[in-house]
Structure 1
Amino acid sequence: MTLRFNTRAIHAGQEPDPITGAVIPPIYQTSTFAQDGIGQLRSGYEYSRSANPSRTALQENLAALEGGTHGFSFASGLAAEDTLVRALLRPGDRLLVSSDAYGGTHRLFGQVHTEWGLEVVPTDFADVDALRDSLAQSPAAMIWVETPTNPLMSVVDIAAVATVAREHGAFLVVDNTFASPYLQQPLSLGADAVVHSTTKYIGGHSDVVGGAIVLDDDEAAQKIAYLQNAAGAVSGPFDAWLTLRGIKTLGVRMDRHSSNAAQIAEYLVSHPAVERVYYPGLPDHPGHEIAAKQMKSFGGMLSVALRGGAAAALKLAESTELFTLAESLGGVESLIGYPTEMTHAALKGTPMEVPDNIIRISVGIEDVEDLQEDLGKALAN
């Protein structure tokens, strides 16, 4: 039987406990496992950095949700990114990354991995022909796409970039954090690997930090598995269990996040204090048609440019009541942030810096009328 998404979210990797029949698999909160003899492991477990049943369940579930063969869970999204890059690239390799990507990703690649000898090139992937010409002149080992991007909500045509990547032998990674596997399936569109900050929509309750890699390539998976154990940035048993708990409602939550965000975006577009709304669900968004083609709906993230500049953006971010001023995103509660001083502060003074009149909004699953009233009141102050 081919199971649909919400069924997989609830059941993949989560068989009832064979000893007690517990419907929810237990938390294997242990660092080590008894062995029946030297080299005689029970079910393959010896030490929780190498493998733990709670993490195994999460990894199987993540792979099932993204339609991949291999899933890996990490202590954070950046730990997943770091492991993937160091497992597959070597000093001297060239990596192309979305110009408008998460600030932490740019910090990791531009300030950590360049010290390791990588050449990191911020790239606008909207122009596929320009990408093809660039790769013909200077080959790249890896292409790192974020779509929609954080925080300007740019949309990249995954299938088109995948075609170019294959033509030039580049390994294509898609950061699917903003969309979640419920809304977008990059592997089915030609990506070689998918990464997530599972802290965000996958966990969904702002109570656990984690990251993930999902892919089909057996050889690449072996390299990632080796480094996952050798470097040890793994998710703990309780973190894995919390993430699995969040996954069970992922589809239901994403439907509500998307519908709420669409209504908030429409409200803000017509507000006199707003210069521009960045949301792929709006018909005039430059990536709207591509997003409609490769996403189930348009997600719960949007950004807003204020006509009053930085002062207006700061005032709005600090004036809301229901929208909590905080970093992160993707939880059931609505959050608001000022990227230039918060999530993307590392990019200040660079060509990738976020304009200082922009706020980023993670629209939660509260009653949308209450959220709209909160924003309206804050904008009127």
Structure 2
Amino acid sequence: MPGSVLLGRALARAGVDDVAAWDGTPTNGGLLLLRTDHVYDAALVGGLARSPGVLLCRPEDGRPVAAHLPAGTAAAPIAEALKAGRAPGDAAFAELRSVAPAALTDSYDRALRKRGNPYLLRLGLETRSAVEWEMFGGSYKGVTDAVTKHVWPRPAFHVVRACAALGITPNQVTLVSLMLVFLALWLFAEGAFLTGLLAAWVMTFLDTVDGKLARVTLTSTPFGNVFDHAIDLIHPPFWWLAWILGLQAVSMPLAEPVTVGVIVFGGYVLQRLQEGLFLALFGMEIHVWRRFDSLFRLVIARRNPNLVLLTLGTLIGRPDVGMLAVAAWTIFGCIEQVVVTVQAGLARRRAPLRSWLEQ
């Protein structure tokens, strides 16, 4: 999409409704001026909108690209200087304070669980691919499972790019994911484990795509957020129960199917409750407290790591062993989170807790 369209969406998110091309009309109120040949991180636009008297400069060469003019400031000379690409020392910018992008936002993004500076990128034919990759990387969560973090990024980038070009919305992608959830559930219950795993893995891939598509195109909505996260939250333990049922359908029943079912279903619920308790007690997610906790999130007994265990078991002809591995890993994950919660409680007695990503 044109950079101006994306910028308009970022401004709307920042609460700026009156958006138009600069025509030199005098104004008595505050004014935001931004070059449209650059791509701005949405958080950066929000920070600029909250900071009157600021001149935003590119980090690589210090050239000004945007400004927030306080009420009563003569806008025309500043607009012309921005368009001409003049240096911060130009007389037109004398009343403004020059800042880099990092000065307008928090380096720690709690929603995406990562640390980093907002992007401010010059957009042109020769920089388009690099800009798109940088934007995609900016939409990715920093703390997640190993498959999402290390396997999906490159293919997901191309699918997100295609969806954006074709006008496919994030909610449409999520709807396909939901259909695949039910397809995998049915196939697992029938004992068709390989085809079920194929449906499940495609679903997990699309689960990566929809969120990234929403963030890079600035089209996320409260409904879409609830729709996506509700699916993610609810379906995994039902897949594991369907898998146990499917083992009976292919004459490979577990010795204690009810016990294993209680472990994988109850353990999943318990892990989620533990995470909610940690958040309530300490004001942060359990996986962002220490570097070790973030690393353990790569392999903790959640959907994608469990699918890896089930896939390996199926490929060696022992889907029952795969499920037993999931049960054992679920027990270990629950114990590990109890230990982390106790450690955090003891550590808070000595000093307030902070995420390692904030330090």
Interval of TM-score (by shorter of Structure 1 and Structure 2): under 0.3
Larger Rg: 2
More strand by share: 1
TM-score, L = length of structure 2: 0.24
More helix by share: 2
